[in-house]
C-alpha cells in the first residue's frame, strides 16, 4: 500500500477546482466512495479498515497537504484538506497546462467535441478515444498511462455546452461494467 496515488489525486482535484473557481486559501472537502480509495491505495479494505488506513497518513503527504481530517458515512468518505493544502497546490502548480486549457475550452459556448479532441492531441499524438453508450456521456478520451495523467475524461455535448467528468481508469472500468 502506498499513499502516492491518493496524494496525486487530491492535488489534481484541488488544482481542477482552482482552475474552475480560482484560488482561495480554504479548507476543501472531497468525497470518495470506498472503491475509489481502494483503487488509489491499492487495498481491498472494508470501510472500517479504510478508516485505520487513512489515519496512517505519511509525513511526506502531510507536509504538503496538511493532516487530512477523515470522516465517513457508510462507504462514503470525506477527506478534508486544511487551508495549507489548498495554498500548497496553488503555490506549487502554475496556472497553466492541460486542465486549465480544458476548463477554458469547455467554458466556451461554441466548444465542440472535435475542439476537445484537438486539445488532447496537442498534448499527445497517442490518445485513446471511446464512444460511450448511455445517457450520461458521449465520449471518453484519455492519455497513455506513461504521460502521468491517470484519468478518463468523459464528455457529453448538451447542445449549448459540453460537460465533463474525469474518472480514475479503474473507476471508469467499474462504471462500464455497471
Confidence band of 142 (pLDDT split at 50, 70, 90): very high
pLDDT at residue number 84? 97
Whether the Cβ atoms of residue 93 and residue 15 lie closer than 8 Å to each other: yes
Taking only the tens place, the pLDDT of each residue in 103-139 is 999 999 889 999 999 999 999 999 999 999 877 999 9
Task: Show the CA angle centred on residue 103, arms to residues 41 and 159, nearest 5°.
Answer: 115
Residue 29 makes CB contacts below 8 A (sequence gap 6+) with 78, 79, 80, 81
Confidence band of 71 (pLDDT split at 50, 70, 90): very high
Taking only the tens place, the pLDDT of each residue in 23-41 is 999 999 999 999 999 999 9
Dihedral of the alpha carbons of 102, 106, 107, 112, in degrees to the nearest 10: 140
Other C-beta atoms within 10 Å of 177: how many? Answer: 6
Residue 151 is classified by DSSP as E
Whether the Cβ atoms of residue 117 and residue 138 lie closer than 8 Å to each other: no
Residue range 138-145: average pLDDT? 96
pTM here is 0.93
Angstrom distance (rounded) from CA 5 to CA 174: 18
Whether the Cβ atoms of residue 42 and residue 26 lie closer than 8 Å to each other: no
Instruction: Return mean pLDDT, the chain.
Output: 95
Amino acid at each position: 500500500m502506498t499513499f502516492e496515488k491518493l496524494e496525486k489525486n487530491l492535488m489534481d482535484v484541488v488544482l481542477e477546482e482552482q482552475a474552475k473557481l480560482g484560488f482561495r486559501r480554504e479548507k476543501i472537502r472531497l468525497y470518495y466512495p470506498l472503491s475509489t480509495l481502494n483503487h488509489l491505495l491499492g487495498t481491498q479494505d472494508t470501510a472500517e479498515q479504510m478508516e485505520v488506513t487513512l489515519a496512517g497518513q505519511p509525513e511526506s503527504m502531510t507536509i504538503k497537504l496538511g493532516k487530512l481530517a477523515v470522516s465517513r458515512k457508510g462507504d462514503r468518505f470525506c477527506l478534508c484538506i486544511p487551508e495549507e493544502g489548498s495554498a500548497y497546490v496553488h503555490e506549487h502548480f502554475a496556472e497553466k497546462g492541460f486542465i486549465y486549457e480544458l476548463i477554458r475550452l469547455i467554458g466556451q459556448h461554441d466548444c465542440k467535441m472535435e475542439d476537445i479532441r484537438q486539445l488532447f492531441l496537442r498534448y499527445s499524438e497517442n490518445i485513446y478515444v471511446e464512444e460511450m453508450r448511455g445517457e450520461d456521456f458521449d465520449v471518453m478520451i484519455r492519455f497513455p498511462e506513461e504521460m502521468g495523467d491517470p484519468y478518463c475524461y468523459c464528455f457529453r455535448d448538451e447542445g449549448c455546452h459540453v460537460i465533463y467528468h474525469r474518472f480514475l481508469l479503474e473507476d471508469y472500468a467499474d462504471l462500464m461494467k455497471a
